[in-house]
Amino acid sequence: MPLTLQFVPFSDIEPLGSARRVKKLIDIVKENKIVLLEGRLKKEEEADLIQIAMEEINNKFKGIELAVIEGKHKQESFVSNIRSGVLNMLLGDRQGFTIIGPASVIKEIKKDPNKIELFTKETRKSK
């Protein structure tokens, strides 16, 4: 079965409250799809995402793999940090990406500043 990567633009979750944002993302992951979310959730929403994932665990759904890719470089100037802080306050944190995948499919997500590696679970060969 091919892996499905579903892109979720930030505008899709922007009008939603925290609980509905998290539910929307979990619902996609429970369909065995990998979510590629533009931007990132709030810190509290990340914790909520883990909490909801735990509550949803059953024989089929084993939880999630999660990685947030920061969109800004650490050594940005003071002015650009202020600018992005104000934009984040007004528009939400659209910088970077968040990857959320079902743990039954994604074994591990490794990231460094230049690349993201998704290690999938070995699929059993059919005889």
Partner 1 sequence: MGLLDFLTNYFNALFRKKKNIKLGLYGPPNAGKSTLANKICKDWIGEEMSTVSNIAHETREIIIKEQISIKSKDGKKELMFNLVDTPGIATKIDYEDFIKAGLKSAQAKKRAKEATKGVVDAIKWLDEMDAVVVVLDSTQDPLTQVNITILGNLQARNIPVLVVGNKTDLKKADIKKIESAFPQYDIVGISAKYGGNIEHFYDALFKVVA
Q: Which of 1, 55, 78, 90 binds partner 1 (CB under 8 A)?
A: 55
23 lies in the binding site for partner 1 (CB under 8 A): no
Nearest residue (CB) to partner 1, 13 versus 53: 53
Stretch that binds partner 1, among 7-15, 16-24, 55-63, 89-97 (CB under 8 A): 55-63
The tokens 């306050």 sit on which residue?
89
Task: Work out the burial of residue 38: count CB atoms within 10 Å of its CB; fewer than 13 is exposed, 13-18 middle, 19 or more buried.
Answer: buried
Distance CA 31, CA 81 (A): 37
Distance CA 8, CA 27 (A): 12
Nearest residue (CB) to partner 1, 11 versus 107: 107
Distance CA 13, CA 1 (A): 28
Nearest residue (CB) to partner 1, 11 versus 113: 113
Stretch that binds partner 1, among 7-15, 30-38, 50-58, 77-85 (CB under 8 A): 50-58
49 DSSP 8-state letter: H
List residues binding partner 1 (CB under 8 A). 42-44, 46-48, 50-51, 53-55, 57, 62-68, 103-104, 109, 111
